[in-house]
């Protein structure tokens, strides 16, 4: 069964893996004009400890739609 919009609104999850990586996902409805789709979302993939393969905060890859009317950023 597919999740409904109500299921997704307010979804917030972080999963830590044995290799020390973490995935965080957040999804929220919004009326903010900065999000024409009506949704604000973020995806973060990183490491619990920063290293040579990460940014200073442990980020390996991050994506969100905070600039939805252009491209967003990675």
Q: What is the pLDDT of residues 11-67, one digit of tens each?
A: 999 999 999 999 999 999 999 988 888 999 999 999 999 999 999 999 999 999 886
> What is the DSSP secondary structure assignment for residue 74, as one 8-state letter?
-
Report the chain's mean pLDDT, rounded to a whole number: 90
Where are the domains positioned within the chain?
5-47
At residue 62, the pLDDT reads 94
CB atoms closer than 10 angstroms to residue 23: 15
Edge-to-edge strand order for the sheet containing 59-64? Answer: 11-16, 21-29, 39-47, 59-64
Query: What pTM value is reported for the model?
Result: 0.79
Does residue 68 register a pLDDT over 90?
A: no
At residue 38, the pLDDT reads 92
At residue 21, the pLDDT reads 97
């Amino acid at each position: 069964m597919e999740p409904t919009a109500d299921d997704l609104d307010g979804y917030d999850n972080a999963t830590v893996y044995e290799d020390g990586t973490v995935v965080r996902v957040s999804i929220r409805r919004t009326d903010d004009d900065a999000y024409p789709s009506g949704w604000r979302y973020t995806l973060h993939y990183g490491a619990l400890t920063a290293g040579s393969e990460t940014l200073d905060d442990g980020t390996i890859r991050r994506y969100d739609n905070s600039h939805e009317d252009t491209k967003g950023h990675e």
